[in-house]
């Protein structure tokens, strides 16, 4: 899939399920991680049923992820994938809801 294979995915999965090992608890695959590239430093999600707040900031050389006011990931890009392209909100099945989405381009 173009968006997953050539872009970056910020994970939403508190279990941290790693499909390669078939195990949970992997920081590279838990909420806030840059999936497969940079682990989240902690799980800062609210309990199921409560809204979470993400801020994802992408510059020409970094991806920063703040979840519920806590910085969880700061990834220095290595140039292996472009930082421009599509923005996807959900790739897999399952119930996920979004609200108050804002996308800004900064100078």
Tell me, what CATH number does 23's domain have?
2.60.120.560
Residue at 99 is within a domain:
no
Q: HSE, CB side, 13 Å, CA atoms: give it for residue 68.
A: 11
Supply the mean pLDDT for the chain: 90
Alpha helices in the chain (DSSP H): 2-6
Residue at 3 is within a domain:
yes
Residue at 44 is within a domain:
yes
Q: Which domain holds residue 55?
A: 1-79
Task: Identify the residue whose tokens are 């941290």.
Answer: 16
Residue at 22 is within a domain:
yes
Question: How far is the C-alpha of 61 from the C-alpha of 41, rounded, in Å?
Answer: 19
Per-residue confidence (pLDDT) for residue 99, from 0 to 100: 93
pLDDT digits (tens, 9 = 90+) for 21-65: 999 999 999 999 999 899 999 999 999 889 999 999 998 899 999
The whole-model pTM stands at 0.89
Give the total number of structural domains in the chain: 1
Question: How far is the C-alpha of 2 from the C-alpha of 66, rounded, in Å?
Answer: 25
Question: How far is the C-alpha of 104 from the C-alpha of 107, rounded, in Å?
Answer: 10
Residue at 28 is within a domain:
yes
Helix (H, G, I), strand (E, B) or coil at 6: helix
């Amino acid at each position: 899939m173009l968006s997953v294979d050539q872009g970056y995915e910020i994970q939403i999965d508190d279990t941290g399920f790693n499909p390669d090992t078939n195990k949970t608890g992997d920081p590279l695959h838990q909420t806030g991680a840059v999936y497969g590239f940079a682990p989240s430093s902690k799980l800062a999600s609210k309990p199921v049923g409560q809204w979470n707040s993400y801020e994802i900031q992408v510059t020409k050389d970094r991806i920063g992820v703040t979840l519920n006011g806590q910085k969880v990931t700061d990834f220095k890009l290595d140039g292996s994938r472009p930082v421009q392209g599509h923005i996807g909100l959900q790739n897999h099945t399952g119930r996920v809801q979004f609200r108050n989405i804002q996308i800004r381009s900064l100078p």
